[in-house]
Amino acid sequence: MKLTEFVKKELQGWSRAEITGLGIVLLLILVNSVILKDSIQAVINAICGILYTITAGKGKISCYIFGLTGSSCYIWLSYKNALWGNMLLYLCYYIPMQITGIFKWKKHLKEDTREIKKIKLSKKENLIIIITSIAGCLVAIFLLGFFNDKNPFIDGITSFLSILGMYLTVKRAVEQWIVWMIVNGLSFVMWLNLVLHGTKAYATVIMWGVYFMLAIYFYIMWQKELKSEQPEV
């Protein structure tokens, strides 16, 4: 597929409201970065992160281009703020999984729209996810507390659930958005607290807030799509 054709396919299926909303958020981040003199890494991470979330929600494989760029900046921000759980998560898991996601999603694209085919987990799979989440979060909180993480509780929960969320993203499951709601909401609180104590990462706070709203939006949209694809009884 030629580059121009690929770009054209990736831009299909966008509503006017989605494009307008994206433009407003990106403008807000850029204006904020100038007024508050935000760090360049925080700005790039925020812009790429929001573009990643929206294109992933739209089921577009180009999301991983933004994901890899944003993840690289987030690794640096986490390192600077001693958030070891988040740093190791992105370095050792997010980046490899996003590369894997490119190849996995490529196998499950719709011919007409080039969007991924969404799936819904079974009751058994959901039960396994819940049990694994509780156990994994407890272990992560304990380990990060042992290594003097600044915020072991939130960092531990967000780190482990992000691992789970990324797995469900690559798997194309609608349940990923429930996980991302929790991760994004707690991450917003964590970074807001850091900013209130002097860290220059205002764009990162905006990013997590937008992530949280997008997770709710795309959960509703994916559920509607899956429901419309079910055969009538």
For 151, phi then psi, to 5°, come to -145, 75
The Cα-based distances of 195 to 90, 95, 116, 138, 144 in angstroms read 21, 26, 37, 26, 21
The residues near 214 (Cβ < 8 Å, ≥ 6 apart) are 50, 53, 54, 57
Per-residue pLDDT of the chain (233 residues; tens, 9 = 90+): 565 666 666 667 778 888 888 888 888 888 877 887 777 877 888 888 888 888 999 899 989 999 999 888 888 888 888 878 778 878 888 899 999 999 999 999 888 778 899 999 999 999 999 999 999 999 999 988 888 777 788 888 988 998 899 999 999 999 999 999 999 999 898 888 888 887 777 777 888 898 899 999 999 999 999 998 765 44
Q: How many domains does the chain have?
A: 1
For residue 121, give both structure tokens: 């987990």
Domain range holding 160?
A: 3-229
* 8 A C-beta contact, residue 188 and residue 10: no
Q: What is the pTM of this model?
A: 0.80
**Beta-ladder partners of 81:** none
Number of residues written out for the chain = 233
